[in-house]
Structure 1
Amino acid sequence: MTGSTVFHINAISSVALASIAFYSTLQTRVYGARAIPFFVAWIVLTLPLLFSMTLFANKPLILSFLLLVPTAFIFLRNPRLDAVMPLSLPSPSPQVSPLKPASLTPLPALTTYRAHMMLMTVLGILAVDFPVFPRSLAKCESYGVSLMDLGVGSFVFSNGVVSAIPLLKDPRHLTAPMFPKVRAVVGKTLPIIALGVIRVLLVKGTEYPEHETEYGTHWNFFLTLALLPIFQVLLHPLIQAVPASILGLGVGILQQLALSLLGLKHYVRTAPRAGLLSANKEGIASLAGYLSIHLLGLAIGTLVLPPSPTFFRRLRAGRTTPADLRAPRQNDKTAIELASYALVWWALLALARRAGVDAGVSRQTANLPYALWIAAFNTSFVLAYLALDMLFFPAPAAPRPRAGARSAFAPPEAPPLLEAMNKNGLALFLLANVGTGLVNLSMRTMYAGPAASMGVLALYALVVCGAAWALRETRVWRL
């Protein structure tokens, strides 16, 4: 497997943006104050993602065009419904005790980004087993870019983004004693470590097909996910003094130096699996690279989660307090900073590829080009989702018609189906893994025709999304 191209992967992923534009148009110009039904939301938000990696995988721009044509038609012909509806008065804001931790204002764009990333991952892990999924989108053996390689890195980046929450809510978190923090984070990650161990036992016990060169003989992605938060806590003394973006880039550079100059790459490629360490050389050797991605996600989290992109810098300098998390959002300034970061990461990726750093992008070792690609892609798409939010749900213009009034369609959250996906992400990911195993054990997926493949995949997507919808009022397990 040698993968595809960065442009091709971006084009496939852009279908998600087109589906959100279509959904937002339906909400603001057709449904108005009424909720979009679950099945309609599933068709608009989920099926395009499934088609983008299967039937339209080699022509994703056509699929985006097919979504944007009705979007433009409805957008231009139908008036915005809240423009002709009376503005509603919100309920009085609750009084927040200064002793209680400050809460973050929800950012629908971030919820949408994380939920769509989860959906792409959930769909991809089963779709890859069918012939309708192009081999160029499957995980690359050693070097290359592919949709599956993107999903793994994006999962780590997304977790890095939300890991900024404790740092924003409590400025003392960085300087708190190390041992209690490590003990607390280990306690939270023990269930994920247990899942990793259980997965090893199930895979070995059922002789489920696996590629040792992906993570190793016993290692798997759950173990990587579990260790990254622990490493981040251990780096808190450095995060106090160095911006997370610089620290993440520095870790990526050190990882690349170890690969290129210290023989780590040669060890991963050629060392025999003679012991426990060498048996899992891919998973262990890639840890530093994934930590780099996690830290770069943390840097973006400090920009997009608070109301102002400068909040975390001012918090560390003692020029603001967590109480200011309740301030109005400055999405325009956040968008500018995100655009700046995206340009830097894309430029560094282009420079690394032109300079011949390593042999290209490698998910297997999580080298520097891979970390830069993941950071550039995810930062760009967070920016794109934020731009769509600003287009379809602009902040009410000042002065307002009456004190405290707001637009009927300034959404407090992302589309409910995506909010439900985001709320129980880990539980749904586990359900998807179980579903993938059951499908593969019950049919010969590699020999399925297009009609059977799409039927099974659509039913699988409906079951996962239906489970998310059924659990939307409950948080089963925090990701």
Structure 2
Amino acid sequence: MDSDYKQAKEEFVSGMTGSSITYINLISLVALSAVSLYALIRTRLPPTREIGFFFSWTILVLPMLLGMSLAANHPLYLNLLLLLAIALITRLWPRVESGTPLPLPSSQPASPSLGGRSPAVGVGAVPHGLVQEERDGKRRGRMSPLPALTTYRAHMMLMTVLAILAVDFPVFPRSLAKCETFGVSLMDLGVGSFVFSQGIVSAIPLVKDAAHLRAPLLPKLVSVTKKCVPVIALGVVRVLLVKGTEYPEHVTEYGVHWNFFITLALLPILQVILHPVFLRLPIGIVGFLVALLQQVGLTKFGMKEYVLSAHRTNLLSQNKEGIISLLGYLSIQLLGLSIGTIILPPTPSFFKRRQKAFLEQHSETRSHKRRNSNSEDNPFLASSNRNATKKDNDVEEFDIGAPRQLDKTATELCAYAILWWTFLGLTRLLKLDGRWNSDDGGVSRRMVNISYILWVVAFNVSFLLCYVVVLDLWIYADNAQTSSAAKSQLKKQQQQAVKQGGIGAGSSSPSRYAQQLNVDSPEFHQSQTQLQGQFYYGNQYSRSGSNSVVGSSSTLSLSAGNVHENPPLLLEAINAQGLPVFLLANVLTGLVNFSMSTMYMSDGRAMTVLAVYSMVCCGVPWIWTKWTGGTKTWKGKTN
């Protein structure tokens, strides 16, 4: 690359001061408006009608691209246009309703379980995350899916993918590019949101296994380090390619050799080291304390002056931004982890209750073992051991696959959103990070100070709340509630059958019919879990060609009107292949910059390039998902 053009390109993306939080919120709101429009259209089309890639890209991706390019100066008008379309569809286009009556049971004997696959359901019809497993003779549910989280993570990835190339064109406003030192911008937010999102999903092993935090530290460190080695390798390869090809780089982002891949690789390792602390302090408090520690280091121990003024004379000072910001990014990931323990389980209090029960059980284990040797001769000790066994069983009775209580989840998220925005306001009011709107204070992604941490967390919690409320509690609410309606209807049929002494030629006795429709039985609970999964992952059912779950001796049929894509297939594919999509976007960004002078390109040509680029980044995971049926990642591992 020509040295003069390289210097001009580096100046093109340097020295930015950003915009305002309100402006960034309006641009980000375009993604929520777009997916709401898509969801309303999807629920008004027959489920047998498959939505193609181009339509999905036009509704879900194009508005986001316009929001950060041609329409970036008027994001409010773009949102109003999308909201107008939403209002018209809601008013004039009725959704596809369902209501097929549930058939009564026949005289065939009841099956022992509903957990197995049935030919009527089709191979792979039961969605992952909702089936029951047999482990050590005990039934354990998998984690119920949360479509709003999938949509949120996919949108975060899309915003990142679109911005990393769009920033090289003049059509992308400079106010959205990364700020030099202080200020807020869309790309600054994207970096922190990426880390926050990683923190959310890192809560999965903690939520699934109550003993994970107390597991030996060294094996966990070895395991997580092995998983992070490929990401570290990507960071090293990126450094070699950038230096070897003289690709334009913004040194003040992370340093001379440091890059975002290295930060992403180190954060899980640091998080595991803190596991013993999580046993004594709530994760959210630990994350906030780390944020305070980062700010104290910046203001009281000269880290701020070191980042802004120190000459790059050695390896440490050459990468001062990446090293100093690492603790701040760790805080963001820990706060994301705390949110993950709230939204991933069926109820917000699930993780706390399960962890408390496990710790109580663990603290009594040794005393119980000592009593076992004398329990046969001492009736009191025998009774105590029976109580201890009951506590052990109580820990196992936490059903992680239970139906979600999204109203409680939304309430909890709302409380945390208010909390973090309040803390951000107090930070500004008390000037803990310097004088805002000046050259020496305010939000700083470069140093990841406390105001940047609070802004990223407040934004992500707020928008995650919006996805839950708009998608799962509004647009798809009817689908999510049909399961409980079916249970209520069956219970009425059960009571009626008992009164009448059996219905139908095959019902020999009321007790047998009541047994077949026992809504309190584990078999019925499992069928309802499968039904709920059918609503949440309707796209998988529609692709499998069946909309029924076979019960003990009757088929609980659902009309096709309940089967809708939540989340949309395109967003689900992008989320499932997140890292490959991110790598593909980086490779394509490099190829585009090497093949054309992006900073001198007209808006029309720039939009053409960006449209094709976004189609490729979205089309590859779409095709892969269609080809594999959504069962494999690009690494070839089964989900």
> After TM superposition, is the score higher than 0.5?
yes
| TM-score bucket of the superposed structures, by smaller chain | over 0.9
- Look up the match of 1:391: 474
Contact residue 170 and residue 322 of structure 1 kept, 8 A: no
Determine what percentage of the aligned residue pairs are the same residue: 55
2:401 maps to which residue?
Answer: 326
Counterpart of 1:460? Answer: 613
1:270 equivalent in alignment to 2:309 = yes
Residue 18 (1) aligns with residue 33 (2): yes
Query: Can you list the C-alpha shifts for 1:84-138, whole angstroms capped at 9, x where unaligned?
Result: 667899x944452134874211110000000000000000000000000000000
Q: Is the contact made by 1:171 and 1:315 (CA closer than 8 Å) also made in structure 2?
A: yes
Gaps of 5+ in 2: 1-15, 105-112, 117-131, 358-393, 434-440, 491-518, 520-527, 529-555
- Kept after mapping to 2: 8 A contact 1:216/1:281: yes
1:97 aligns with 134
Q: Which has the larger radius of gyration?
A: 2
Worse-superposed segment, 71-80 or 144-153: 71-80
Distance 2:102 2:613 in 1: 41
Match of 2:423 in 1: 348
Matches within 5 A, 1:18-167: 18-83=33-98, 92-94=114-116, 95-99=132-136, 102-167=141-206
Aligned length: 478
Question: With structure 2 as the length reference, what TM-score do the two structures score?
Answer: 0.72
SS in structure 2 at match of 1:325: coil
- Once residues 466 and 50 of structure 2 are traced to their aligned partners in structure 1, the CA distance between those partners, rounded to angstroms, is 24
Q: Is the 8 A contact 1:311 1:320 kept in 2?
A: no
The structure-2 alpha-carbon separation of the partners of 1:3 and 1:353, relative to structure 1 and needing over 3 Å to count, comes to: same
Distance 1:323 1:234 in 2: 27
Flag the 1:306–1:202 CA change in 2: closer, same or farther, 3 A.
same
Amino acid corresponding to residue 447 of structure 1 in structure 2: Y
Shift of 1:323: 5.0
- Residue 215 of structure 2 aligns to a residue whose secondary structure is coil
Q: CA RMSD in A?
A: 2.0
* 8 Å contact from structure 1 (residues 417, 465) kept in 2: yes
Q: Distance in 2 between matches of 1:169 and 1:355?
A: 40
1:316 and 1:84 map into 2 onto residues whose CA distance is: 41
Q: Which residue of 2 aligns with 1:469?
A: 622
Deviation at 1:471, TM superposition (A): 1.8
CA contact (8 A) 2:43 2:564 kept: no
Residues 351 and 321 of structure 1, relative CA distance in 2, 3 Å threshold? farther
How far apart are 1:67 and its partner, in Å? Answer: 1.2
Describe the superposition over 1:331-372 as per-residue Cα deviations: whole angstroms up to 9, x where unpaired: 000000000000000000011012112211000011100010
The match for 1:433 is 586
User: Matched residues in 2 for 1:315 and 1:79: separation?
Assistant: 43
Q: What SS does the aligned partner of 1:278 have?
A: helix
- Aligned mates of 1:383, 1:23 — CA distance in 2: 19
Matching residue's letter, 2:457? A
- Within-5 A mapping of 1:175-190: 175-190=214-229
Q: For residues 7-34 of structure 1, what are the alpha-carbon distances to aligned partners after superposition, in whole Å with 9 as ceiling and x for unaligned?
A: 0000000001100110011011134442
> Residue 366 in 1 paired to residue 441 in 2?
no
Q: Following TM superposition, by how much is the alpha carbon of 1:35 offset from its aligned partner in structure 2, in angstroms? A: 2.5
1:38 Cα shift?
Answer: 1.4
How far residue 399 of structure 1 moved from its aligned partner, in angstroms, is 3.6
**Secondary structure class of the residue paired with 2:399:** helix
> What TM-score do you get using the length of structure 1 for normalisation?
0.96
Which amino acid is the alignment partner of residue 17 of structure 2? T
Which stretch shows the higher mean deviation, 322-331 or 240-249?
322-331
Q: Show CA shifts across 1:288-311 (max 9, x none).
A: 000000001001101111111101
In structure 2, what is the equivalent of residue 336 of structure 1? 411
Q: Report if the CA contact (8 A) 1:162-1:298 is conserved.
A: yes
The answer as to whether partners of 1:393 and 1:410 remain within 8 angstroms in 2 is no
* Alpha-carbon distance in structure 1 between the residues aligned to 2:397 and 2:36: 33
Structure 1 residues 404-425: Cα deviation after superposition (integer angstroms, max 9, x where no partner): 5567436574111000000110
Change (3 A) 1:324 1:129: same
Q: In 1, Cα distance between the equivalents of 2:326 and 2:300?
A: 18
The 3 A distance-change label for structure 1 pair 412 and 17 is closer
Q: Classify the secondary structure of the residue corresponding to 2:170.
A: coil
